[in-house]
Chains A and B, each alone.
Chain A
Amino acid sequence: MKSLQYFIFLLIISVAITGCAKNKERSHINIAIPYSDNVQDYETNYYIKWLEEKTGIDIDVTIIRSTRSNEYLNNLRSSDLDVDAVFFGGDFQADEKAVSDFVSNPDAYDEAALIYTCKGLYKSSGCGQVMWINKDWLTKLNLDVPKNTDELYRVLLAFEKSDPNGNGINDELPLVGSVDEYEFNSCLYILNSFIYTDPYNSYCYMDNDKVFTACVDNSFREGLSFCNKLYNEKLIEYADVDKSQLCELVNSPNNLVGAFTTDSIADVIYQENPEIMAKYIHLPPLTGPDGKSFALYREYEPAIGAVINYKTDKYDDVKLVLDTMMSEEASLIARYGEEGVDWEYAKEWDVGIYGEKATIVTKNYIWNTRQNKHLCGIGPMNVPDKYLIGVTWNGVNSDTEYIDARAKMRYESGFPKETSDNGIITEINNYVDEMTDKFVKGDADINDDKNWQDFCNGYNDIADKYIYKRMQNK
């Protein structure tokens, strides 16, 4: 009898437990996230776990091994892959048009509701290009930090001739640039010592409320001629270097590079490479022969952080997770890690990296390092500027955010009073970039008046379609 009672008791308990389990059954979604060396394990990632707890939704992760986001979206469109959303970031950047095409399926939800942005990698505006120079080489050769283009020329010449890395081989690369992205284009940096040269606004600038086109100005031509001289004398390695080669060269233990340009130094020097980081210091904006000295001002448009698969049958769940990721609370985890462990709110007396009152103190600086607290910039986020500007130096001398901030503050004096609002006009940018490349490398002679005139005519023809008409309408 007793055993019967015990059996019934067990049965009731089991039913109760099963019932509870059913009540608590959680929905789950599947998110495709690009692989990153900087994330240890998505399954156990602190941020993913936090999101699951916050939303009550389990997140399964499918790792994307490709870097070609367009191809991935095409495959997603034409397949029945069980993916509810795709995250972008790192080497897997979203192409705006491809994402727009992807969500423009007639059966899709409201297109805008499917796309999430990623704002939090940089403050929303500031200097877009800094030149970094090898301090060890300057010291060894007893040279000053160059302040103008003439001094830059002499320094680069010394770098080339004097074997500053001391290995007895003429393997030094005085100045390295890459045309992969504007930030790495060292000629663009030099051109800003001649005239304000802004590729992010189709090479136009404003003065007294009027739009001017920099690249048909004679100062631009003089700047190109200077770059061509550097190229001819093998003082600049230009155009034949892609981003990964640039990184390899700068990070080489053989100490090969004299100078290079970036937006953030972290774009080229690996965060965990303090010896290399210690070699380079920023240059102030260089003054050109006419005494001009500009710094490239850039407004950072938020990148696309995620797109919801229009075919998902879990739209509400995915939306809840992604909306949560856009909150300040989540975005601070996405950017700085676990509160109280990796960062805390600043004390009243702390100083931010841009010299303002601090808002955030990082205790463990984990950005751009291999860690398991966040997705290291992958996925949607929305970090308010007050944190990006107000973060304190973490005390690590190779902290790239601090190194960047110090450099960028010095460039602020070179910003134009006003900038054009043209944005990048692809046809114009392609034309100017291609011709600039030719002029620098000597494929077209910049000192030949006819070549120059042809270039200006070509530019004017395209600009007529996009810029001049707009100027007239204004």
Chain B
Amino acid sequence: MVITILLISIYISGCRINDNANADKWLESADLSGDDDENELYENALKEDILIVYTVSTRATQVKESFEKEYPGLHVEIRDLRSPELIKAVAESVDTEKYDADVVICNDNSGTFKSELLDKGKVYPYIPNDIKENMKDGHVTDMITFLDEAELMFYNGTKYEKSPISNVWELTEEKYKGKIIMPSPLRSFSTYALCAAILDSSDVLEEAYKEYAGSELEIPVDNKASEYFMSLLFDNAVFSNSSDEVVEALGADETEYDFGIMVSSKLRFNEIGYNLKPQYDLEPFSGAKISYAVMIAKGSKNVNTAKLFIRYMLGGSDGQGEGYKPFQTIGTWSARKDLNDGNPVALEDIRLLTPDQDYIIENRDYIDGFLSNLLEKH
């Protein structure tokens, strides 16, 4: 009996050692140091299979199109998913050792990307050295943040020349019941990040209430100011599945909604006739900062193509390549020092909360429970 257990233990340990060895071997052969020559990458990429890109951004399809033109003979398959599904799919691809993900483009606002993929070694950062020096501070860490956005408050520009509100507490007024549309925070990572950041912001909400009402906030027993605010906001809100629905519902000429919360990059829909106006100066916050990362998936079978794709998507050495252009739209902020932001108003000039990932990861059960409880009552 003892011998059997011993043998099983040795076998299991052997497997683990083997797994780690395989991972190390892949990492070593992948050489993610960033010291690659573009021409060599292309030459080697031509010997590889179709590149599979998991992305939360539909704009990656435009990168695919121009990439395939720029590098004839290379092919890209785009798998365009919402963040929770993407993280699940990439994790599964690694866990089952299928390794059918090469490049991963995802936002990391709910902390799940970090806890489920990054911390577990299922994705790795890669950035060419000649691009690295042009990246803004804080954008190259153990993650490559290639784009900044915001989960932001918008209003309908046909109804209102100027926003009728200046303080978030106004959103809780009876007259706005059913007039606010936002994605369900349990289905949208960026909305989740905003809600989590709000839950972590009781102090500023209490201060803002004083400005709004001219008196101290009376909080129900066993509630924090942030919880009380969220419950009132949710009472007035209508929930959708995604920011796209918010665009369509809020941006139309005739709409029942006054306000919407969605990712700032959706402002680009104004280019085709929607009338969405962002609110940058709401007291004490207009939204939360969010960011997008691009990484290489562990075990990528097409690592040369993956490196070349990331290089291309980041705009190449001088940032002037076509690959970054789909992301340089209104409502976005560049990750590169040598490129202008897509948005005319700087990120620093907008009142945004910065979601604290450590807080979110540590308090995930509380946040999930609180939000699902509110949504169930809704």
Q: A128 contacts the other chain (Cβ, under 8 Å)?
A: no
Q: A274 contacts the other chain (Cβ, under 8 Å)?
A: yes
> Which of these, B78, B86, B273, B378, contacts A145 with CB under 8 Å?
B273
> Which of these, A284, A349, A355, A395, contacts B84 with CB under 8 Å?
A395
Chain A binding surface, main DSSP class: loop
Q: B176 contacts the other chain (Cβ, under 8 Å)?
A: no
Q: In this complex, what residue of A is CB-closest to B56?
A: A397
Across-interface contacts of B271 in A (CB, < 8 A): 138-139, 142
Q: Which residues of A in the span 103-142 have a Cβ within 8 Å of any Cβ on B?
A: 135-136, 138-139, 142
Chain A interface: which of B5-13, B43-51, B58-66?
B58-66
Q: A402 contacts the other chain (Cβ, under 8 Å)?
A: yes
- Least CB distance, B41 to chain A, in whole angstroms: 23
Q: In this complex, what residue of B is CB-closest to A275?
A: B61
Chain A interface: which of B16-24, B123-131, B241-249, B352-360?
B241-249
Contact (Cβ within 8 A) B80 A144: no
Contact (Cβ within 8 A) B80 A349: no
Q: Which residues of A in the span 381-415 have a Cβ within 8 Å of any Cβ on B?
A: 392-398, 402, 406, 410
Q: A147 contacts the other chain (Cβ, under 8 Å)?
A: yes
> Which of these, B58, B248, B274, contacts A397 with CB under 8 Å?
B58
Q: A350 contacts the other chain (Cβ, under 8 Å)?
A: yes
Contact (Cβ within 8 A) B184 A274: no
Across-interface contacts of A392 in B (CB, < 8 A): 187, 241
Contact (Cβ within 8 A) A348 B245: no
CA–CA, A359 and B204, complex, Å: 38
Across-interface contacts of B82 in A (CB, < 8 A): 393, 395-397
Contact (Cβ within 8 A) B245 A395: no
Contact (Cβ within 8 A) B85 A395: yes
Contact (Cβ within 8 A) A144 B79: no
Contact (Cβ within 8 A) B241 A353: yes
CA–CA, A406 and B242, complex, Å: 11
> Which of these, A281, A347, A396, A402, contacts B80 with CB under 8 Å?
A396
How many pairs of A and B residues are in contact by the CB < 8 Å rule? Answer: 82
> Which of these, B58, B184, B242, B371, contacts A278 with CB under 8 Å?
B58
Chain A: residues with Cβ within 8 Å of the partner, total of 31
- Least CB distance, A357 to chain B, in whole angstroms: 9
CA–CA, A355 and B79, complex, Å: 25
Q: B134 contacts the other chain (Cβ, under 8 Å)?
A: no
- Least CB distance, B372 to chain A, in whole angstroms: 5
> Which of these, B186, B242, B378, contacts A393 with CB under 8 Å?
B242
- Least CB distance, B149 to chain A, in whole angstroms: 16
Given A274-B61, A349-B376, A351-B187, A139 and B81 contact (CB-CB distance below 8 Å): no
- Least CB distance, A71 to chain B, in whole angstroms: 39
Contact (Cβ within 8 A) A275 B376: no
Contact (Cβ within 8 A) A355 B272: no
Chain B: residues with Cβ within 8 Å of the partner, total of 36
Contact (Cβ within 8 A) B252 A350: no
Contact (Cβ within 8 A) B58 A348: no
Q: In this complex, what residue of B is CB-closest to A276?
A: B61
CA–CA, A402 and B245, complex, Å: 10
Q: B240 contacts the other chain (Cβ, under 8 Å)?
A: yes
- Least CB distance, B182 to chain A, in whole angstroms: 11
0/1 interface trace, chain B 338-378, chain A, CB 8 Å (1 if under): 00000000000000000000000000000000011001101
Q: B71 contacts the other chain (Cβ, under 8 Å)?
A: no
> Which of these, A275, A284, A347, contacts B372 with CB under 8 Å?
A347
Q: In this complex, what residue of A is CB-closest to B184?
A: A351
0/1 interface trace, chain A 434-465, chain B, CB 8 Å (1 if under): 00000000000000000000000000000000
Given A147-B253, A392-B241, A406-B245, A139 and B61 contact (CB-CB distance below 8 Å): no
Q: Which residues of B in the span 68-126 have a Cβ within 8 Å of any Cβ on A?
A: 78-82, 84-86
Contact (Cβ within 8 A) B184 A349: yes
CA–CA, A353 and B371, complex, Å: 20
Given A393-B242, A395-B81, A395-B82, A349 and B272 contact (CB-CB distance below 8 Å): no
Q: B239 contacts the other chain (Cβ, under 8 Å)?
A: yes
Across-interface contacts of B238 in A (CB, < 8 A): 355
Q: In this complex, what residue of A is CB-closest to B238?
A: A355
Contact (Cβ within 8 A) A397 B80: yes
Kindly list 4 other residue pairs between chains A and B, CB separation below 8 angstroms, not including A143-B272, A395-B81, A402-B241. A347-B372, A351-B184, A398-B80, A406-B248
B interface residue numbers (CB < 8 A to A):
58, 61-62, 64-65, 78-82, 84-86, 184, 186-187, 238-242, 244-245, 248, 252-253, 268, 271-274, 371-372, 375-376, 378
A interface residue numbers (CB < 8 A to B):
135-136, 138-139, 142-145, 147, 274-275, 278, 281, 284, 347-351, 353, 355, 392-398, 402, 406, 410
